[in-house]
Amino acid sequence: MQPGPKNSITDVSGIKVGHTQDMKLMSGTTVVIPDEPAVAAVDCRGGAPGTRETDALHPANLVEEVHAVVLSGGSAMGLDAASGVAAWLKSAGRGFPVATDVRVPIVPSAILFDLLNGGDKSEMDEHTYFEFGKSAVASADLECPLGNIGAGTGASAGTLKGGIGTASLQQKSGILTGGPGSGNVGFTVGALAAANPFGSVTLPGRADFWAWPFERNGEFGGRG
């Protein structure tokens, strides 16, 4: 398998990404939005997860698809970003149909802790992340800038700067399908992460990443 044309989650057909951030606050929000409702699953880990609507993704529950996924800074306050995204989607007529004229957007989200990164949090209030969510989803497109943007704006990676990362892999063939039009088809896998780990991401006493065996096309900037 090889990286997709952009080496980005947006190499997956029908996926767009939007970011918004405030450099004074040193925080922001990232939204992944599919053109059509998408099947989703979740695996929550860690000692202090902060999530919204992830229980709805359990396979035994009613809702099978999501309309967007949100990653945000702001710790628990950042969960409000999903409300902003949901409000934007509702105004666009998108959501889970519960009645003829009533739709409920399903927007699972997860947050990261960026409250002690030196940003000015004095003006952060109940509207901050709601507006971040609306702005991020409204700006969603096929480009996905990396690093100090969106949910990664205030992220850290041990003693290094964290941020937004994305990648993709494409397999041109290998999946056998049955029925009419069956054949050997390919697929694309994309990933997006807001990297905010507590521990070191480099080898002890060195500037090389633990993940160096997985580097492709110099994407670690020579620190592999």
Give the residue from 189, 188, 117 showing the smallest Cα distance to 151. Answer: 117
Local confidence band at 177 (pLDDT 50, 70, 90 cut-offs): low
Place of tokens 């109940």: 126
Distant-in-sequence, close-in-space partners of 50: CB < 8 Å, separation ≥ 6: 75, 76, 78, 79, 110, 111, 112, 113
Give the span between the Cα atoms of 213 and 200, in whole angstroms: 17
Instruction: Identify the CATH class of 9-214.
Output: alpha beta
Give the residue from 6, 2, 3, 28 showing the smallest Cα distance to 16. Answer: 6
pLDDT at 215: 84
Q: Which amino acid is at 154?
A: G
Local confidence band at 161 (pLDDT 50, 70, 90 cut-offs): very high
- Do residues 86 and 138 make contact, with C-beta atoms less than 8 angstroms apart? no
Residue 144 scores a pLDDT above 90: yes
SS (HEC) of 62-88: CCCEECCEEEECCHHHHHHHHHHHHHH
Kindly tell me the burial class for residue 189, based on how many C-beta atoms sit within 10 Å of its own C-beta (0-12, 13-18, 19 or more).
middle
Residue 63 scores a pLDDT above 90: no
Place of tokens 């957007």: 105
Give the span between the Cα atoms of 56 and 121, in whole angstroms: 32
**pLDDT tens readout for residues 86-127:** 999 999 999 999 988 899 999 999 999 999 999 999 999 999
- Do residues 89 and 105 make contact, with C-beta atoms less than 8 angstroms apart? yes
Mean pLDDT of 31-54: 94
Residue 167 scores a pLDDT above 90: yes
Give the span between the Cα atoms of 105 and 101, in whole angstroms: 13
Indicate the pTM of the whole model. Answer: 0.91
**pLDDT tens readout for residues 186-223:** 889 999 999 999 888 999 988 888 988 888 888 887 77
Residue 140 scores a pLDDT above 80: yes
pLDDT at 12: 96
**φ, ψ (nearest 5 deg) of residue 83:** -65, -40
> How far is C-alpha 61 from the chain's CA centre?
23
